[in-house]
Amino acid sequence: MFLQEKMGKLLYPTDKIPGKMLSVVLPAYNEEKNIKKVVDSILKFIPSLVEKYEIIIVNDGSKDDTGKLVDELAKNCREIVPLHHTQNRGYGAALTTGFKKAKGDFIFFTDADGQFDIKELPKLLSLIKEGADIACGYRKERADPLFRRINAGIYNLLIRVIFGLKVKDIDCAFKLFKRKIIEEINLESSGAFVSAEFLILAKKRGYVIKQVGVSHFPRIEGKQTGNNLKVVLKAFLELIKFRRKIKKKG
Task: Estimate to the nearest angstrom the gap between the alpha carbon of 216 and the chain centroid.
Answer: 14
Average pLDDT over residues 145-152: 82
Contacts of 230 (CB under 8 A, 6+ apart): none
| CA distance linking residue 174 with residue 138, whole number of Å | 8
User: Looking at the predicted structure, is the pLDDT value of residue 3 above 80?
Assistant: no
More confident residue, 103 or 249: 103
- Between helices 66-75 and 35-45, what is the axis angle to 10°? 30
Percent of the chain with pLDDT over 90: 73
* pLDDT score of 65: 97
Domain boundaries, the chain: 3-249
Contact present, 126 and 10 (Cβ < 8 Å): yes
pLDDT given at position 26: 98
For 34-38, 57-61, 66-70, 245-249, which range has the lowest pLDDT when averaged over its residues?
A: 245-249
pLDDT for 61 beyond 50:
yes
What's the mean pLDDT in 14-34?
Answer: 85
Say if domain 3-249 classifies as CATH 3.90.1150.10.
no
pLDDT of residue 53: 97
Whether 163 shows a pLDDT value over 60: the answer reads yes
Q: Residue 8 above 50 pLDDT?
A: no
How many percent of the chain have pLDDT more than 70?
90
pTM value? Answer: 0.90
User: What's the pLDDT score for residue 220?
Assistant: 83
What average pLDDT is seen over the chain?
A: 89
Kindly give the residue spans of alpha helices, DSSP state H, lying in 63-134: 66-75, 91-101, 121-129
pLDDT tens digit string along 189-242? 999 999 999 999 999 999 999 999 999 998 888 676 655 678 888 888 999 999
Q: Measure the CA–CA gap between 101 and 208, rounded to whole angstroms.
A: 24
